[in-house]
């Protein structure tokens, strides 16, 4: 696996420090609000389990799975819900945890969907953002890192469902996917 990585962008220590900072901010902002933290499967799983252990207020968790129709390293923008949430979101404070925003189409779809459940508030916590790739206007409330348009894997992010278990985030060698 390691030999498929061209460059390590964020190592374990850098990620851990960023998650402590985000968790600290979320702990302050959600004190006493008992938020529902929704992780988007599968990419956000690693980030989700780390971030919730850094939020020092009572909360509940749930998961949602989207399928984006498209192959390889480009997202098609056509999104469907594969696994729905089980929590009633009405009047709850909702925090969406996502691994990465690329075009922003998945997140936009997701936010419109979750808003229909009438939450008291709806905020986004995103590990990685590719601002130059956005095709729609997306508001990110809590952000880990901004990156360029390179394709990255590790720490939950995959190529063809692999590399999710790498403890760091790195740029995948072009020859692996081209």
User: Considering CB under 6 A, how many residues would be counted as binding ligand IMP?
Assistant: 15
Residue 154 binds Mg ion (CB under 5 A) = no
Residue 43 binds ligand IMP (CB under 6 A) = yes
Of 99, 102, 141, 160, the active-site residue reads: 102
Residue 43 binds Mg ion (CB under 5 A) = yes
Q: Examine the residue annotation and report whether 129 is marked as an active-site residue of this protein.
A: no
Measured over all CA atoms, what is the biggest interatomic distance in the chain, rounded to whole angstroms?
49
CB of 171 to ligand IMP, least distance (A): 9
Residue 100 binds ligand IMP (CB under 6 A) = yes
Taking alpha carbons only, the member of 90, 88, 94 closest to residue 33 is 94
Laid out side by side, the sheet with 5-10 consists of: 5-10, 169-172, 152-153
The binder of ligand IMP chosen from 9, 48, 110, 152 (CB under 6 A): 152
* 144 alpha carbon, distance to own chain's centre: 10
The binder of ligand IMP chosen from 157, 166, 169, 170 (CB under 6 A): 157
Taking alpha carbons only, the member of 26, 88, 85 closest to residue 58 is 26
The total of other beta-carbon atoms located within 10 Å of residue 155's CB is 25
List, by residue number, the catalytic residues: 102
> Can you give the binding site for ligand IMP, defined by CB under 6 A?
43, 75, 99-107, 151-153, 157
């Amino acid at each position: 696996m390691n030999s498929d990585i061209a460059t390590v962008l964020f190592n374990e220590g850098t990620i851990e420090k960023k998650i402590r900072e985000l968790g600290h901010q979320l702990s302050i902002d959600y004190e006493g609000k008992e938020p529902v933290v929704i992780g988007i499967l599968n990419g956000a799983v690693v980030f989700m389990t780390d971030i919730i252990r850094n939020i020092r207020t009572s909360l509940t968790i749930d998961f949602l799975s989207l399928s984006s129709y498209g192959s390889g390293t480009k997202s098609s923008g056509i999104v469907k819900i594969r696994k729905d949430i089980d929590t009633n979101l009405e009047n709850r404070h909702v925090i969406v945890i996502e691994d990465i925003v690329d075009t922003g189409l998945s997140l936009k779809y997701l936010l419109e969907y979750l808003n229909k459940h009438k939450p008291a508030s709806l905020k986004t916590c995103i590990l990685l953002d590719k601002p130059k790739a956005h095709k729609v206007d997306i508001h990110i409330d809590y952000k880990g890192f901004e990156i360029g348009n390179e394709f990255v894997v590790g720490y939950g992010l995959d190529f063809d469902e692999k590399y999710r278990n790498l403890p760091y985030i790195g740029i995948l060698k072009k020859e692996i996917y081209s």
